[in-house]
Amino acid sequence: MPRTPPAALRNARTSLRRRGGSMSAHDALPAALRQWLHQAALPWSARSALRLWKRAMAETGDPQAARARLARAEARLLARDARVIWGPDYPAAR
């Protein structure tokens, strides 16, 4: 008679495709980018944050300027979402 695996192992079986180490991808990010992500309002993926970070660093070469660029990108995304969710008269939508 087959033995039932413990609950922890049953939960690990899934038909979902595993994308592989999202935590290891986050851990591999530059320290300044990880610090910015820690206070970010949106749940950035390591991949998209790193893509934007690399572009900003290539243009400015300054981590502080790159963080400012990430903050502006996040503000644009939040404003766009605010317009969709609460309408164009919402203060953050401007």
- What is the average pLDDT across 43-56? 94
User: For residues 90 and 67, what is the distance between their CA atoms, to the nearest angstrom?
Assistant: 26
Mean pLDDT, the chain, rounded, equals: 83
| Neighbouring residues of 82: CB distance < 8 A, sequence distance ≥ 6 | 90, 92, 93
- What is the average pLDDT across 21-38? 91
Residue 74 near residue 41, CB atoms below 8 Å: yes
User: For residues 50 and 26, what is the distance between their CA atoms, to the nearest angstrom?
Assistant: 9
Residue 93 has pLDDT above 80, yes or no: no
Q: Where are the domains of the chain?
A: 22-93
Residue 25 has pLDDT above 50, yes or no: yes
pTM given for the model: 0.68
Residue 43 near residue 57, CB atoms below 8 Å: no
Residue 94 has pLDDT above 80, yes or no: no
